[in-house]
Structure 1
Amino acid sequence: MKVYILEDESHILQYIISLVDDNPHLELVGYSTSIAKAKLELPNLQPDLILSDIQLEDGNSLSLFSEIPTDLQIIFITAYDQFALQALNLGALAYLLKPLDTDAFTAAIEKCHQKTEKFKVQKQQTQLALQHFAAPQFSKKIALRSTDVIEIVNIEDILYCNSDKGYTTFHLADKSKILVSKVLKEFDSLLPSPLFFRCHQSYLINTNFLKKYYKDGQIEMCNGAIIPVSQRKRAELIAHIDANF
């Protein structure tokens, strides 16, 4: 089977490539760290199987697969363990959780290989998955796993999140904080838009608690916290404010 990989974390990408190279059923025909590049390459390469992350730096891969009419199978390799999995089952052959388990990967590939015919990712199914994943009827709660406890938090009580060195801190309306050993990227799609806005590589804010925007590129939250807005996000934030307030 011809395989294409879509993954933007370099160490995971290299590990997946090594697994593909070691599997006699697989032939690597290409890989990308961005959705934009994959969108250009996939129609020409026409792989039988795509191994894909969900949330990449330049967007959500579900939207890509709903746009490309091609015969393929998809295995999602993801860090998400809530909300998204039900949606993925609608349009994907399988999903594997990070860190990637070699035996689980081999079993999923064997499942692909045993199929005598390629199966098509039905556009209707994938669109349903995309709608489920991005729909406004998100769960009102999120489970945050710290070192000693799992805390169930109302999404509307989250003021903002900030990341640092592989950890994400959740700042809550009651002034408490929860430190989670996951990067901010993993919560980007779990926290619904337009309520939450990624204003900076290290910050994701709840716009309900936005108090002021300063034209020098800073946000003041209702608790007095000052948060930077990246240069490329400033125009988008102003448009977001104009559209939603």
Structure 2
Amino acid sequence: MKIYILEDEINIMKYIISIVDKIPHCEIVGYSDEIAIAKTDIPRLNPDVVLADIELKDGDSFTLFSSMEKIDFQILFVTAFNEFAIKALNIGAVGYLLKPIDENEFKEQLNKCFKKNQEYKVFENQISISKQQYHLENEIAPKLILKCSDFIQIVEMKDIMYCKSDKGYTTFYFQDGSSTMVSKVLKEYESIMPSQTFLRCHQSFLINVNFMKKYFREGILQMKDGYKIPVSDRKKAELMNYFQ
């Protein structure tokens, strides 16, 4: 389990390191005594747990974590002030340790973090296996059921050129020139259509890559039926990777 330490009291930093070094399944990947450094270190080092003092010389760690776009690690606060406990837990911390740090309590908290981390990895693995199994089954029977107001249509996924979302409705466009509208959002279909074939190139469009004809570098994709579809800025790189 990878650990990052944010602490500006050198003696406490050394004490924390000495305890962590005794635990076989824990590894310190970085440490700092400044929030400004931690802000760039943490996303780069990708720790599983951040041990953070709350009040540091250049600010407080509540502000640091609140400013981060993504928190995919566990937070364990270390503080001398009991008043911070509720606030710490309210932002999603695993827990907090009061200074002076009790070694046994510290190890107990780290073991709690380790157990939670292992459970998450098992969950991620199960999701990955399920997704692979779904796509395998979808390759064997690649059909989609479209439930409309007055009929149910069974379609071959390979015949879908692209899907367009508009105000809670999704319209499917097929290679024979026909189309079907259903009263469901595009996201529901995106999650069950194979990602190897269908790409969400824009908030309003899901395309079948087999029907792409031409890509204009300003961010416009032309399909085989001549229809032009916008590509969002954040999806341009993904589309270029496909062309590679």
TM-score computed with the length of structure 1 as normaliser: 0.50
Aligned partner letter, 1:192: P
1:203-225: per-residue Cα shift (whole Å, max 9, x none)?
Answer: 01001000000011101100010
Q: Residue 136 of structure 1 contacts residue 192 of structure 1 at CA under 8 Å; is this kept in 2?
A: no
Q: Residue 162 of structure 1 contacts residue 169 of structure 1 at CA under 8 Å; is this kept in 2?
A: yes
2:73 aligned partner: 40
1:35-81: per-residue Cα shift (whole Å, max 9, x none)?
Answer: x84733599756xxxxxxxxxxxxxxxxxxxx95228xxxxxxxxxx
1:230 aligned partner: 232
Aligned partner letter, 1:176: S
CA separation of 1:122/1:214 partners in 2, compared to 1, >3 Å: closer, same or farther? closer
2:206 aligned partner: 204
- Write the distance in 1 (CA, Å) between the matches of 2:202 and 2:159: 20
1:171 aligned partner: 173
Structure 1 portions without partners, runs of 5+: 1-35, 47-66, 72-119
Q: How many residues of Structure 1 are paired with residues of Structure 2 in the alignment?
A: 140
Aligned partner letter, 2:179: K
After TM superposition, the structure 1 = structure 2 runs for residues 73-152 of structure 1, keeping only pairs within 5 Å, are 125-135=126-136, 137-138=138-139, 139-152=141-154
1:136-167: per-residue Cα shift (whole Å, max 9, x none)?
Answer: 74431000111111111000000000100000
2:191 aligned with 1:189, yes or no? yes
How well do the aligned residues superpose, as a CA RMSD in angstroms? 3.0
- Write the distance in 2 (CA, Å) between the matches of 1:220 and 1:163: 17
Larger relative contact order, structure 1 or 2 (CA cutoff 8 Å, min sep 6): 1
- Write the distance in 1 (CA, Å) between the matches of 2:93 and 2:183: 37
More helix by share: 2
2:70 aligned with 1:69, yes or no? no
Aligned partner letter, 2:119: T
Which structure would you say has the larger Rg?
Answer: 2
Q: Residue 69 of structure 1 contacts residue 123 of structure 1 at CA under 8 Å; is this kept in 2?
A: no
1:21-48: per-residue Cα shift (whole Å, max 9, x none)?
Answer: xxxxxxxxxxxxxxx84733599756xx
- Write the distance in 2 (CA, Å) between the matches of 1:152 and 1:42: 48
